[in-house]
Structure 1
Amino acid sequence: MPHCRILVFSCNPEQSTTETLAGASLAGAHQQSRGFARYLQFQTRGGGGGSGWGRWSEDSDKVLWGLIAANVGGFALWRLAPNLMQTHATVSIEGLRAGRVWTALTAAFSHKDVYHLGANMVGLYFFGRDVGRLFGGKRLLMLYMAGGVAGSLAHCGWYYYQACKTGEGRYGRARWFGFTPSALGASAAVNALTVCDILLYPTRTVLLYAIIPMPAALLGVLWLLNDVSGAMDGHRGHIAHAGHLGGAATGLAFFLAYNVSTSSTNATYMPAWEAPQGSPADAMRDFEAALAQVAPSMRLVDAASGPAREYRRYAVDDPLFDHDDIEVLISVQRPPYEADPPLVTFRSMAAQVKYVWPIQQAITDFGAQRQRLKEVRSRLGWRILGCDLLECFEE
């Protein structure tokens, strides 16, 4: 049975919960009909066109596999040209002082040990897949690279701090600025993706060491505590714990950047949903019926149809913000539906949310919008994406 995937967007400030992903997408709460559709490259006028959700998701998969291939290629190069890799694919203060600044990035694609490579690629696939499908291939690549660079700088910066604090490095005062432990591996970059994904789905059940089930948030806390302890203990086990923490901080920054709206961009992502409908038209019809039950005052503002896709924009009365704008986009990558299930996305945007400069603190709606979206999903019986494989406790 094919089923739709629903990606929920909401701008309400109190929704940084288990049902909120991250970030701002469009400027202005009174953005007209092309707003949300343009963000997903969906032509609301003229009956379709554009690249749509299909190419967006497809692009993220290509980026994900490209990153994995690049890491495997780096592993192979260690066998073919180890001296080259040692010079240009490991990061250290020595290398940065010598002008090899690119090593801060190339180190994130460098593995000498097959276990190190395998563990990182497993994490990259599972956590990167979620991030890529929700934010797109470009942001997946951006977060990976930013996490890798941040991890490299954190590794070097931590050793530099330790040297300034104690007067000598881990290998003695005389050798501190002549040679420092080099770092390599995708761990920091993968940590950025992992932390972002855990913040998106904190209550999702994951398996520690593929055996012990626990909430994703608890696993994240344990990882962070281990890295903090390791960094304070002098990078025990020759592991760059400070680099891991740099990557984790990057994931947190990415999540906050897309979760806390600014004065000009005020829509936030929420986790994707699943539905059993077999076509965009069927899913749209059921969604509209459920929304009408939850918000009887809703009124249609705009509508468009294209090849294997449907778009609607509604206005819903709200006592606090005058009205909310709810946009729904349902599309498939390519027919037939049985081979490629519909992807259903929608965004709900309170029309008059205000923000306080410079911290961009949004005025609360006391959870009204979050409750409205939850009730719609409850009436439809749709589930959060991924719960068919992992047991989820999001309520």
Structure 2
Amino acid sequence: MLFDRDYMKPPRNSAPETDPMKLLLGIIVANVIMFLLISPPRIADGMIFIPKSYDALVLSWEGLKSGKVWQLITSTFMHADFWHLAFNMYGLYLFGSLFVRHIGTKRFLWLYVISGVTGNLLWLLANYNSHGFLLGASGALFGVMLAAAMFGPNNQFLILFFPYPIKAKTLIMVYAALEIISQCSKLGGNIAHLAHLGGFIGAYVYLRIALKHHIAWDPFRALFSSVHRPSGPQNIGKSFQEHNAELKNVDAILDKLSRFGANSLTDEERDVLRSAREKYSKH
């Protein structure tokens, strides 16, 4: 394939990037380790007992006022119980594995952190000076889910309690609607719906700024397209299918080059190779 060619690889003096899947699995392992090491709160005699180590890592206004700003990040690695952890980590792997190699290690890490932190900030704004606390990777997970939908909107999933495949773009719109309805109607008990919505918002802004050329579907454009549909064609980036077709085209040219030499290439084919090298050397 294209990336196996010597002259398409990064210079030897540059450090090779860590396999993005290792980062994804590392985040999951870190969440599991935190859950195993830090005891969650327990209820006894009608009272909630919160261990000091736990209290220092979950997000709260009291913690921030005392200078524990790290809670904005550490809280995204904390979970209330096994099922809270299991569902979040399953979702993180399911959706993250679809595109983590496509965007690379650094960008995926930024996506995870930004989604989690913006979810936390939105919850803080809505719960100013409250005595509650927030924990969980749900804000980061919802950001990853949005990215999976924006990069591969037509990927299909089978989800629990729903017997038919559902497209990623449909799934994310349904989830967003449910979160908004639940927040407005105060359904869901202790579920921090605002943190989930904050994860959506943070991820969307980051994707539009840093990864706009990877986007194949924009939920806001899709939402408002029925109200205002532009007369000209919309350009919202290449889909994964178009991206793979481009790679196959380049690979065919490289095979021709290896068999018949550089003189066999047309000017157009040379331009394709040149632009591909410039494009992928930046990732």
For the criterion TM > 0.5, the same-fold answer is: yes
Distance (Å, rounded) in 2 between the aligned partners of 1:259 and 1:139: 9
Partner of 2:276: 327
Instruction: Give the conservation status (yes or no) of the 8 Å contact 1:131–1:193.
Output: no
Distance (Å, rounded) in 1 between the aligned partners of 2:84 and 2:189: 13
Report how far residue 231 of structure 1 moved.
1.6
Give the counterpart of 2:36 among 67, 76, 82: 76
Deviations 1:177-229 (A, max 9, x none): 3x432111000011111101111111111222274311111100011011111
Partner of 1:237: 189
Letter in 2 for 1:241: H
Matches within 5 A, 1:108-187: 108-160=76-128, 177=129, 179-187=130-138
Give the counterpart of 1:203 among 148, 154, 165: 154
Change in Cα spacing, 1:156 to 1:327, as seen in structure 2 (3 Å) is same
Cα RMSD for the two superposed structures: 3.6
Instruction: Give the conservation status (yes or no) of the 8 Å contact 2:21–2:101.
Output: yes
Instruction: Give the conservation status (yes or no) of the 8 Å contact 2:40–2:81.
Output: no
Q: Does 1:298 align with 2:268?
A: yes
Letter in 1 for 2:23: V
Matches within 5 A, 1:215-294: 215-234=167-186, 236-260=188-212, 271=240, 272-273=243-244, 284-285=254-255
Report how far residue 234 of structure 1 moved.
2.9
Instruction: Give the conservation status (yes or no) of the 8 Å contact 2:143–2:203.
Output: yes
Whose strand fraction is larger, Structure 1's or Structure 2's?
1
Report how far residue 95 of structure 1 moved.
2.3
Whose helix fraction is larger, Structure 1's or Structure 2's?
2
Report how far residue 240 of structure 1 moved.
0.3
Deviations 1:346-376 (A, max 9, x none): 69xxxxxxxxxxxxxxxxxxxxxxxxxxxxx
Q: Does 1:86 align with 2:86?
A: no
Report how far residue 63 of structure 1 moved.
1.2
Distance (Å, rounded) in 2 between the aligned partners of 1:107 and 1:224: 22
Report how far residue 270 of structure 1 moved.
5.1
Partner of 2:47: none
Secondary structure of the corresponding residue to residue 202 of structure 1: coil
Report how far residue 132 of structure 1 moved.
2.1
- The 4+ residue runs of structure 1 with deviation greater than 4 A are 274-277, 280-283
Instruction: Give the conservation status (yes or no) of the 8 Å contact 1:194–1:251.
Output: no
Secondary structure of the corresponding residue to residue 42 of structure 1: coil
Change in Cα spacing, 1:256 to 1:74, as seen in structure 2 (3 Å) is same
Report how far residue 301 of structure 1 moved.
5.0
Deviations 1:94-129 (A, max 9, x none): 322232221111110001211111111111112222
Change in Cα spacing, 1:92 to 1:180, as seen in structure 2 (3 Å) is same
Give the counterpart of 1:63 among 23, 33, 46: 23
Distance (Å, rounded) in 2 between the aligned partners of 1:95 and 1:230: 27
Report how far residue 74 of structure 1 moved.
1.3
Q: Which runs of 5+ in 1 are unaligned?
A: 7-33, 44-48, 161-176, 262-267, 289-295, 303-311, 314-325, 330-344, 348-395
Report how far residue 77 of structure 1 moved.
2.2
Report how far residue 281 of structure 1 moved.
6.7
Instruction: Give the conservation status (yes or no) of the 8 Å contact 2:155–2:167.
Output: yes
Q: Structure 2 length normalisation: TM-score?
A: 0.71
Distance (Å, rounded) in 2 between the aligned partners of 1:117 and 1:253: 26
Distance (Å, rounded) in 1 between the aligned partners of 2:269 and 2:253: 18
Q: Structure 1 length normalisation: TM-score?
A: 0.52
Letter in 1 for 2:64: L
Matches within 5 A, 1:296-375: 298=268, 300=270, 312-313=273-274, 326-328=275-277
Partner of 2:144: 193
Letter in 1 for 2:38: W
Secondary structure of the corresponding residue to residue 298 of structure 1: helix
Deviations 1:251-271 (A, max 9, x none): 11122113447xxxxxx7752
Distance (Å, rounded) in 1 between the aligned partners of 2:253 and 2:132: 56
Pairs aligned (count): 237
